[in-house]
Structure 1
């Protein structure tokens, strides 16, 4: 275990401490100042001097305490200093030698969302020194990730599963990694990632700096600390069970009959709010119910593709939609500082999940409210869980019209009927349009022949008949497939209309019922007759045709 070098900074400093006072290099201070960050949070104030000096760090604190900057600043600063030292002394860096990508910094995170949010914080800092970052996680194609590595990414933010896949494929090497960071180590333990984490850390350069941040040291996290951290300095800002002073908890007891109206009322406010359910099916059903009642809501759960999850989370973070309905996947890595209200539609199964859900609000020094809805048959287990989580809140029996609910919701947003989240996203550059699953290779080949025959203007004339069910150069819109044209990019309805309006008369005729079949039959007959005529001409003019009979 770590030595006794530890500090507990649960109490805030009397006066704010600036990043300059903590020894942060000036280029990084300018980036932070541009983003409105001038004073350090407690965990940053405690860890930065030791981390900048190169010591191994064990940071223990609740979610939302500012841990991302606490390891991002020293990670970039120390890699940049080493890079300048190599240039000054004329030393060739092994990181750039050979064809195998060799990053020098590594951050491991449990979820894709957290990896993306770490990269959003890390990338501006790295750009101040001309360094590149990249993310590596599953659920998406690995082509772009491999390309980013080959272009010289110095810092990799990765989930353990996909990173191990790329290592097995020899797409990169970790031998030059000088600084490795584990964020939310306890969550990685809960998700079963620790064996992969240990295999990954065993491949990085021995003797480098290690920083581990975790709310607890259970489920094997302590074994990782003993094996990979050398004489770490412990910084504990908040205990694993300590809730935030600016967070207010509300325990609302209700009935099954009154619960639906109560949830809709809690979601009807004007501020950002996250509604947690236990299952993916419940999240999808609740989001649809809210939309049907004029409350725009986005979903975030495991049944969505990575593109859908990124789209929905992006819309929520930008304020395009104020309500996010999520399962516990959102409690592991969603870092949005201005969430006003968290509603636990279904109480979580354990106090740790309760604290992670609650931690989506009251972040970065802002206040927030947490509501836990409890049905009569859930009260016994919920009371035990609240006691283990050290939450002391008086339960109140409420309905949607109760004054406690009305006061908490505040101003109600105007209902929006017929709302839907925009799903047409531009297709990535360099990707070819997807083929129809029905037609297979033969259907795709048939569509190509049909396009050559009629021209691209009539590309969507076949709607469900024969070999031309789907055009080869564009896709009909669906939830996950944007309308896309290889030459001009995404097409909206007006553009498609113009394209069709400019098509040939023959194509327009083919767009109407049986006229399509008659026109195609006439063309096929004409071509067949032409081929027969040519064969007959060659046969009749062949001088050796009757040679044997002579």
Structure 2
């Protein structure tokens, strides 16, 4: 209908202006020839005839009509067809369909700054906190490119520090590539390598891997990566903290030299900066306040004695605003013990530690995501892979050892532009590391007054212990919450 209106307006204007335009052109057809419309070349030929003025007038009329029609058409389409949201990236229809199905409407800042450059083939250096939407920032350009250039894979490799993060990235890729025929697989330790080897033989398009297991398979000749065109190093600073830097360098040495590289990190220690300088070629840099917690996180501290931490924790967990939370401790033994105590206090808690089998970790994370457990007790080894929507609280039961760990821990809440709260328990021996964290943040962390605690509740929570080691279930799947996890698995079997 809009095209009909456009044509009607154009020809009405033509009828009103053609006579005057023709007269002007007849008087000075040389000047009018500078417009170079589609019919202008005919005017040059017909001007040689005796009836020059007549022909020039006719050609001028056609030229005027053409210009009016073109300009009105462009104006109407510019006005009524402006691109918004993810349409601005001009993604392939199948990719855009996946974006819409995933519920993405407006791109987030890191996506706006990263996707166009990545689509153009540039290397990317992204400095951004977790929870800012960076997975989609590199996933969409990869999917878009592989949809347009289908070839035997694997063509894209994403390296991540933890199994949980690798699984989360895999899940995001599958959602966004839902309507394409791209195959995405994961490669990580803690499980049998046989299914992963079979999946690699099928030449998947995208591989999401942890460095240790991938390097093992490469050395055995079971992971062939000669076709890699895109490499992503996600959470590169965490991979360095976990000692993966030598493995990463070994993997890089076996990849094709001509490829696109994308490196993302929340912080930029010297070692990662050196790696970035080595890997990236004139990268497009995206930096989003990487040294401080997200504005959506309200973080504060409590100064409290170590023997009062359990009582304060119980007070926070029983508060009205608490819906689900992650509690961080330094060691797996403390995490396991706290998981036991919280379950004895009547909470649905599950502990997540580095020495658990992959099945145990999967059961724990699945239960937490589905809401069967509303408290996750974790150590730093697992903190980077936790990406669960709607976490209302993060509690640092133990102060983290580094400023980077502080930022990563509390980044588990306030994700996807939702608000969250993070509290840190600070005892006397934590004063030194607290000063280091505050110096890194560039400001003092707000200190809240300690609430009045019920001394009876504090004493009972502190002195309770598991009844017997023999009765603690190891078959349940997760230390410190075997009974809860056993019931969860039983319910799923039904």
TM-score range, shorter chain: 0.7 to 0.9
Query: Structure 2 vs 1, CA of residues 204 and 399 (structure 1 numbering), >3 Å: closer, same or farther?
Result: same
Offset, 1:81 = 0.7
Summarize deviations over 1:217-260 as a string: whole Å, max 9, x none: 32422222222221211111223x12211211121112234221
Q: Distance in 2 between matches of 1:422 and 1:279?
A: 19
Summarize deviations over 1:38-67 as a string: whole Å, max 9, x none: 110100011111111111111111111111
Select the residue among 134, 140, 143 that pairs with 1:76: 143
Partner of 1:268: 318
Partner of 1:41: 108
Partner of 2:401: 349
Partner of 2:300: 250
Partner of 2:199: 148
- Native 8 Å contact 1:261 1:400 kept in 2: no
Q: Distance in 2 between matches of 1:229 and 1:255?
A: 47
Root-mean-square deviation (CA, aligned residues, Å) is 2.8
- Once the two structures are superposed, the pairs formed by residues 288-307 of structure 1 within 5 Å of their partners are 288-307=340-359
- Once the two structures are superposed, the pairs formed by residues 108-119 of structure 1 within 5 Å of their partners are 108-119=159-170
Q: Distance in 2 between matches of 1:424 and 1:394?
A: 40
Partner of 1:125: 176
Summarize deviations over 1:373-406 as a string: whole Å, max 9, x none: 112332343234223223433323414549xxxx
Q: Distance in 2 between matches of 1:384 and 1:217?
A: 17
- Native 8 Å contact 1:126 1:133 kept in 2: no
- Once the two structures are superposed, the pairs formed by residues 451-530 of structure 1 within 5 Å of their partners are none
Summarize deviations over 1:412-449 as a string: whole Å, max 9, x none: xxxxxxxx999779xxxxxxxxxxxxxxxxxxxxxxxx
Partner of 1:311: 363
- Native 8 Å contact 2:325 2:392 kept in 1: yes
Partner of 1:363: 415
Offset, 1:350 = 1.3
Runs of 4+ in 1 over 6 A off after TM superposition: 420-425
Summarize deviations over 1:17-41 as a string: whole Å, max 9, x none: 5111122222122212122111101
Q: Distance in 2 between matches of 1:75 and 1:423?
A: 41
Q: Distance in 2 between matches of 1:156 and 1:345?
A: 36
- Native 8 Å contact 2:232 2:261 kept in 1: yes
Partner of 2:379: 327
Summarize deviations over 1:333-388 as a string: whole Å, max 9, x none: 21113111000001111111111101111111001111011123323432342232
**Secondary structure of 1:19 counterpart:** helix
- Native 8 Å contact 2:160 2:235 kept in 1: yes
- Native 8 Å contact 2:98 2:179 kept in 1: yes
Q: Distance in 2 between matches of 1:79 and 1:55?
A: 16
Q: Distance in 1 between matches of 2:297 and 2:269?
A: 25
Q: Distance in 1 between matches of 2:432 and 2:218?
A: 48
- Native 8 Å contact 1:176 1:205 kept in 2: yes
Q: Distance in 2 between matches of 1:422 and 1:120?
A: 29
Query: Structure 2 vs 1, CA of residues 186 and 423 (structure 1 numbering), >3 Å: closer, same or farther?
Result: same
- Native 8 Å contact 2:102 2:175 kept in 1: no
Summarize deviations over 1:473-492 as a string: whole Å, max 9, x none: xxxxx99x999xxxxxx999
Partner of 2:92: 25
- Native 8 Å contact 1:17 1:40 kept in 2: no
**Secondary structure of 1:348 counterpart:** coil
Partner of 1:167: 218
TM-score if structure 1 supplies the norm length? 0.66
Partner of 1:59: 126
**Secondary structure of 1:79 counterpart:** helix
Q: How many residues align?
A: 387
Summarize deviations over 1:138-193 as a string: whole Å, max 9, x none: 11110111121123321100011100111111112111011111101111111121
Query: Structure 2 vs 1, CA of residues 423 and 219 (structure 1 numbering), >3 Å: closer, same or farther?
Result: farther
**Secondary structure of 1:248 counterpart:** strand
Q: Distance in 2 between matches of 1:421 and 1:343?
A: 27
Q: Which runs of 5+ in 2 are unaligned?
A: 1-82, 455-471
- Native 8 Å contact 1:20 1:26 kept in 2: no
